[in-house]
Structure 1
Amino acid sequence: MKSFLKMALLSTALLMPAVAQAQEVVTWWDFLGGGDGVRMKALLEKFNAEHAGKIEIQATTLEWGTPFYTKVQTSAAIGEGPDVMTYHLSRLPLGVSSGALSEITTDELTAAGLSGADFAESNWKAAQVDGKQYAVPFDIHSVVLYYNKDKLAAAGLIGDNGLPTGLDGVDNFKAALQKLKDGGSEYGISIHSAAGDSQWRIFYSLLGQQDGQFLDADGNFLSGDNLDKAVKATSVVADWVKDGLAPAATEYPASIALFTGGKAPLHINGVWEVPTMTDLSAKGELGFEWGAIALPTFFDHPATWADSHAFAIPNRVGNEVSAEKRAAVLQVIAWMNKNSLAWADAGHIPAYSPVRDSEEFKTKQPNATYSILADTAVFDPSSVLAGVASPVYDAAGNYLMPAVNGEIDPQSAMEQMRDDLQGQVE
């Protein structure tokens, strides 16, 4: 009998380490395709290799935009879905209002080695709804000004520091566009004038530079003098198109082609096109030296539209993520941020300040040059109607885009945009 007990105790002792070290499997959803998808896959593989036997991420990539967020909402409501997922901060209000997202507590963040002090203030605040944390930012992605250094130098628009100069101010910028066009370019600047989301990003930047509020604290769109500021922001781009300095009714690919083909020395686009320019340049297919900087200051102070890819935990009804699983998820989130230097290769700015402030990041160009956007970013209004693939973006396509192309005057466009959105909340 004693021999039997000794063997039983020995067997139990041998089994205990295996139980204590049981691998936690984390189910992951993202919407990352193209270069973003390739880079995220590399990070996932690196994480799994470093955490073998402890945590394994099992990842699935779903369709970007409305299909992704619809699936998140429906799956959370029936207790299914992932343990962690990528999420745009601009979509948080809708996710919270639908009950699809779980609050992340300060204690959980602290246990994972994260805090709000590790992120730019506006970026961290954009991850909250009503003062509660529902996501952790991973990057800051914004629009920037791409430039053809050769043509700007010929026009005297490159300063002693090798960067564009003389572009601040509405009148100065327009004069620079005219000078570039007069120098032989088809346009001074290329923009996606047939893309409502692209026009929203420029518009919201110029509105922010005037301290304009698209949505006030009382839930009113373009109230008071905010309407006048919106008209001014819209008129800036409309004037470029009207005077032939920017192309009218131009789709996304065609706008990029104008810049890469040397027909427009300036181009406004998201940081996500940095890999495109880098690859073309490396292949010798660009034909000129290029760079990218933060948008010029057209009005009172620097400000640029921004959003963030972030990490969120679904609120799975009746099948909540366990405490152990949540701890593993927070470890995943913290690791991703602390290893986000590689993510910057996609053009993004790391949200995690220690990485953004590192010497390694400062060698990444042009990212390091426009990384000041972390301090001047203006995030989309906190509203269930705002964010990517939202009614606000639809309204930009219906009113802002036609105004830019001269089909509606800016005043009427902004009034109609205001009334349309206000009607959706009343």
Structure 2
Amino acid sequence: MKQLIGIALGATLATAAQAQETVVWWDFLSGGDGVRMKSLIEDFNAAHEGEIAIDATTLEWGVPFYSKVQTSVAVGEAPDIMTYHASRIPLAVSQGVIQPITDADWEQMGLSQEDFAEATWNAVTVDGKQYAVPLDTHPIVLYYNRELLKKAGRLNEDGTPMGLDSREGFEETLAALKDAGVEYPLGSVTADGNFMYRTIYSFMGQQDGELLTDGEFLAGDNAEKLQNALTVLQEWTKNQWQSTYTDYPATVALFTSGEAAMMINGVWEVPTMKDLADEGRLFDWGAVELPVIFDHASTYADSHAFAIPANNGVDEGTAKRDAVLEVMSWISKNSLFWATAGHIPANSGVTASEEYSQMEPNATYSSLTANMIFDPQSEFSGVAGPMFDVMSTYFVPTLNGEMDPAKAVEEIQYELNDM
């Protein structure tokens, strides 16, 4: 009898073990992002114990990640789910490395277009099909040191910098900071054209400029709008309002040390600021939407999203698909914690919550979702893509005052269209 009970119990345990679905996961999230995502994964696994378990691996960001994805899909060894930049979706579709998210999938996840900002939804849509579930939007913002702004007489009563509504007003703030003895009124990543693309594209968007129109780069007056953006930034350099030939780590160091009063950087640096402040090693700081330098507010953004690889020759099966959909749905609906990484959750239900409205500086700059612009939809676009590389070559010398903006635009226009 005991033997029969033992056999029955063993069979039950075996069935339970077989019922748990393991979801193989790849991401490119490190630093503060990575810590928070690992915590979310732990929470998911705890909530789905015995049903679904995420087996996560973090790979190197950028070209190495996307090259590995392409190779693994081709040989049928891709993960079940992966993080992806929305800006890379058109290229991924042309390469055949990701699957569409079908109407039935969205219904099963309990998500729909209404749960996302229009620009974010459109960024993962190609030819009327959706290819990813957006997790966040991660724009660039203006970080600022309230103490230095107050010393320069350029701090509003609400604790934000003066002059955010016009070029004239913002340049008055830059000049006042310089006159007050601040070495760098603005810290910018001027040694990396790939990063500065974000600021330049934002300033183009403030003029309703487009990089790509009907398959042509910088068509019509868009070349002039790019030149306008480059000219402003070069003038800031010549007036010694902006740091020159500064790489990413140095830019963050200039701001956190108090040598730069303001900094343009991604929302992903919010954890850095919060951690330093909690340790008592940072001044009174804030972050807000970019200043309006041209006609209206506009800010570059990208989106971390979840995509399902089109794993060559592999039949994922219904159980696996259901598990993957549950992973994407659960993390989307529980992405409030992800906002502590500085990102703006893509799920509008999360950003509309009372809890999110109390998060700072997130709640202050989250209004920029109404003004954000994504990369043009092209296989040449996207993080670490060829369009970034072409423009980067000319952005660095131009921003640092060593190349005429008109000449830079002429070369950029030729090379982009030559692609």
TM class, shorter-length: over 0.9
Which of these residues, 104, 109, 117, is aligned with residue 107 of structure 1? 104
Counterpart of 1:289 in structure 2 is: 284
Contact kept in structure 1, 2:145 and 2:284, CA below 8 Å? yes
Structure 1 residue 396 displacement after superposition: 2.6
Q: Indicate yes or no: 2:188 matched with 1:196.
A: no
- Which of 345, 349, 355 aligns to 1:360? It is 355
CA distance in 2, matches of 1:107, 1:402: 50
The whole-number CA distance in structure 2 between the counterparts of 1:83 and 1:392 is 29
Determine if the alignment matches structure 1 residue 162 to structure 2 residue 186. Answer: no
Indicate if the aligned counterparts of 1:112 and 1:327 stay in contact, CA closer than 8 A: no
Matched residue type, 2:274: T
Aligned pairs for 1:6-405 (under 5 A) are 18=15, 22-216=19-213, 218-286=214-282, 288-405=283-400
> How far does residue 373 in structure 1 lie from its aligned partner after superposition?
2.0
C-alpha contact 1:199 1:396 (8 A) present in aligned 2: no
CA shift for structure 1 position 250: 1.3
Q: 1:264 to 1:15 in 2, by over 3 A?
A: closer
3-state SS, counterpart of residue 56 of structure 1: strand
Amino acid at match of 1:334: S
CA contact (8 A) 1:21 1:53 kept: no
1:355 maps to a residue whose letter is V
Distance in 2 between residues matched to 1:115 and 1:149, nearest whole Å? 40
Gapped regions of structure 1 (runs ≥ 5): 1-6
Equivalent residue pairs, number = 413
Q: SS of the counterpart of 1:60?
A: strand
Secondary structure in 1 matching 2:306: strand
Specify the code of the residue in structure 2 equivalent to 1:110.
E
The residue identity in structure 2 corresponding to 1:186 is: E
SS at match of 1:340: coil
Residues 74-100 of structure 1 show CA distances to partners (whole Å, capped at 9, x for unaligned) of 111122211110000011111110000
AA of the residue aligned to 1:188: P
Distance of 2:291 and 2:274 partners within structure 1: 22
Q: Is the 8 A contact 1:395 1:417 kept in 2?
A: yes
SS in structure 1 at match of 2:19: coil
% identity of equivalent residues = 53
Q: Which residue does 1:423 correspond to in 2?
A: 418
Q: CA deviation at 1:15?
A: 6.1
Question: Contact 1:208–1:304 (CA<8 Å) still a contact in 2?
Answer: yes
Structure 2 CA distance for aligned equivalents of residues 326 and 357 of structure 1: 29
> What's the offset of the Cα at 1:162?
2.3
Q: Given the superposition, is the C-alpha separation of residues 319 and 178 from structure 1 closer, same or farther in structure 2, using an over 3 Å criterion?
A: same
**1:20 deviation in Å?**
11
Show structure 2 runs of 5+ residues with no match: none
The corresponding residue for 1:3 is none
SS of the aligned residue for 2:260 comes to: coil
Counterparts of 1:398 and 1:230, CA distance in 2: 15
Counterpart position of 1:4: none
Cα distance between partner residues in 2 of 1:119 and 1:167: 27
For residues 183 and 16 of structure 2, the distance between their equivalents in structure 1, rounded to whole angstroms, comes to 68
Moved more, 329-338 or 388-397: 388-397
Q: How far is the alpha carbon of 1:17 from its aligned partner?
A: 11
RMSD: 1.9
Per the alignment, do residues 17 and 259 of structure 1 end up closer, same or farther by CA in structure 2, a change over 3 Å counting? closer
Q: Is the 8 A contact 2:286 2:361 kept in 1?
A: yes
TM superposition score normalised by structure 1: 0.93
Contact 1:155/1:180, CA 8 A, preserved across alignment: yes
Shift of 1:321: 2.3
Change (3 A) 1:233 1:53: same
Once the two structures are TM-superposed, the CA of residue 16 in structure 1 deviates from its matched residue by 12
Q: Conserved in 2, the CA contact under 8 Å of 1:190 and 1:268?
A: yes
Q: Write the distance in 1 (CA, Å) between the matches of 2:313 and 2:399.
A: 49
